[in-house]
Amino acid sequence: MTEVWTAEQMREAEQSTIQGGRTSGAELMENAGRAVVNAIFGTWPGLATEPGTAVVLCGPGNNGGDGFVIARLLRDRGWQVDLHLLGDPAKLPPDARTNHALWSERNPVMPWEQRPVQNPDLCIDALFGTGLTRPLDDTIRLHTALNASDGRHQPKRVAVDIPSGLCSDSGRDMGAIPADLTITFHRAKLGHYLAEGPSYCGKLVIADIGL
């Protein structure tokens, strides 16, 4: 039997673990990013044989921080990575801001509106995760990378924690971005299984990040 949590239960577990001194937010973020990369190569082993191209879309919260870790780990494996940040980097939460700085030391952060590399192998949605409770704006949903297809090449779409625009507690579609693979952390969320959730999540992987 799969234990399924609400977004609030997940937040409480993270806070309890961090406040208890058993781990840090930075360590959880690093573990989350590594779990996503491992799940990608576990799902599509062919992608692990030689470096490809990826577009990583980072949001203004800790889900975006996970995205910076994923981008860095892919770049360390020789991948070409275009990273786009939605929002002001100065307003990122502390751990996400740290990973933004680690990425920025050697790599550019592209403006949200800038067109990414054509025909990427991966498009990674690290925008909003489980915290979004409002409909996803069309300026986000219509980003070039999320609609990149020339009829022959379709990027593999990966959601970090839950597809952005999918309510994590109800599975309600709020303009959700569909994924081929969703990697969630510690426990599955209600929205992965309820209502429209299954049709947007694709394959679901539940990853241990040290909680």
pLDDT 10s digits, 73-117: 999 999 999 999 999 999 999 999 999 999 999 999 998 888 887
Share of the chain above pLDDT 70, in %: 96
Q: 207 pairs with which residues across the strands?
A: 185
DSSP string, 137-180: PHHHHT-GGGG---SS--PEEEEESS-TTB-TTT--BSS----S
d(CA 104, CA 81): 12
Q: How many Cα atoms sit within 13 Å of 137 on the Cβ side?
A: 7
**Model pTM score:** 0.95
177-203 burial, b for 16+ CB within 10 Å, e for fewer?
bbbbbbbbbbbbbbbbebebbeebbbe
DSSP string, the chain: ---EE-HHHHHHHHHHHHHTTSS-HHHHHHHHHHHHHHHHHHH-GGGGSS--EEEEEE-SSHHHHHHHHHHHHHHHTT-EEEEEE-S-GGGS-HHHHHHHHHHHTTS--B-TTS---SS-SEEEEES-GGG--SPPPHHHHT-GGGG---SS--PEEEEESS-TTB-TTT--BSS----SEEEEESSEEHHHHSTTHHHHH-EEEEE----
Longest dimension (CA), the chain: 51
Q: Enter the tokens of residue 157.
A: 């779409």
pLDDT 10s digits, 30-70: 999 999 999 999 999 999 999 999 999 999 999 999 999 99
Question: What domains can you pick out in the chain, each with its CATH number?
Answer: 23-158 (3.40.50.10260)
Q: Which of 50-59, 122-131, 137-146 has the lowest mean pLDDT?
A: 137-146
